[in-house]
Structure 1
């Protein structure tokens, strides 16, 4: 299992954070964090259920991490392993994650796929999402996987959907002309774009658009 303690900074003040594997005793709080992290119009049916969380820790506990800040649960990240090649056709979030229960998990898969990451709003100035992703990057290296992969919903696209195509929007994000809450965060966390995926996830803000983004294992060629 995974356990790492370090300091994060709230402006100039250091605060102790603990990234660890999540357990059944965390479920109620993890569900509450989902509600706080993904308010409407995010689809309510996409928030975690206890049954899904139980499936996460049963099928792949190594990919189920949470973070505490000074004893309070502040966020989580969930992943599964899949087999992936760049030539694979586009997929939906539903297909690759089994609707969130990670039933498609392949124990010998070559790629670690991010299902979800969420941080309580009150802790979003502490870079905890990056800390959780770092835990998964370390998992990629320890297990000798090829990459970490995941679809980032283009959550700011709705603001300009009447003016820009998805390709134009992403171009402006990559040029730094537009800041997308999800895509820009992923780039700041070390992820690089692969391609746009349409109809990835039913989501009004992104118009169902996502950018597939990866982090390649630097110890593999």
Structure 2
């Protein structure tokens, strides 16, 4: 099932043509460029995607390998895999759910599309491209008749508030609009809803290793 959608996004008031499609091997160099733009030093380059991971993405679950072009330039990507998820037991680590990004555990019979990674070049982040990519993945969820899209959001603002509030209090403050978190607030704007706060989700100093699981349920299930 190949995916391709042409839409217009806006650079200020100027409409610009964008294309969301599946990425291929020909896009690997551009995806690595986007990784370097999104995660510059001191973030270690060894944690960017590598060719083996990207090859697995397009061979094991090509439907979950999406990218976005603006005026022919690749500026963002979104990767997922299918897993079997039990909402009654939500706790997990990112690395175990995604096979550390290699997705060799992709389950074609799974009930959930799990987000591995989303990245948009910094100079294009006000254009709505992240939301566009997630909306495209929602369409994949519907096409494959899955129950939900699920992913763990970082909470990069939490370390600033941790001395005076618990992680649950922080999430509640974001949900009530008292605090704007760069990731969680973005995901809320994209239609995601809360599932659970997870400890030791990802090694991330800003989030104090917490992740906030958020889902989008298939409205046709």
**TM-score, with length taken from structure 1:** 0.96
Aligned positions, number: 220
Unpaired runs of 5+ residues, structure 2, are: none
The C-alpha deviation readout for 1:115-166, integer Å capped at 9, x for no partner, is 0001000100111001000111001111111000000011111111222111
- Contact 1:66–1:76 at 8 Å: present in 2 too? yes
What's the secondary structure of 2:100's corresponding residue? Answer: coil
| Residue 152, structure 1, aligned to residue 150, structure 2 | no
- Contact 1:42–1:204 at 8 Å: present in 2 too? no
> How far did 1:39 drift?
3.1
Match of 1:200 in 2: 201
CA, structure 1 residues 147+15, in 2 after alignment: closer, same or farther (shift >3 Å)?
same
The C-alpha deviation readout for 1:40-79, integer Å capped at 9, x for no partner, is 5655443211111011011000000000000111100000
Q: For the residues of structure 1 that align with 2:90 and 2:129, how far apart are their CA atoms?
A: 32
Single out whichever of 40-49 and 70-79 deviates more from structure 2.
40-49
CA, structure 1 residues 41+171, in 2 after alignment: closer, same or farther (shift >3 Å)?
farther
Match of 1:110 in 2: 111
Q: For the residues of structure 2 that align with 1:130 and 1:98, how far apart are their CA atoms?
A: 25
Match of 1:25 in 2: 26
| Residue 139, structure 1, aligned to residue 148, structure 2 | no
Q: For the residues of structure 2 that align with 1:178 and 1:46, how far apart are their CA atoms?
A: 30
Single out whichever of 107-116 and 156-165 deviates more from structure 2.
156-165
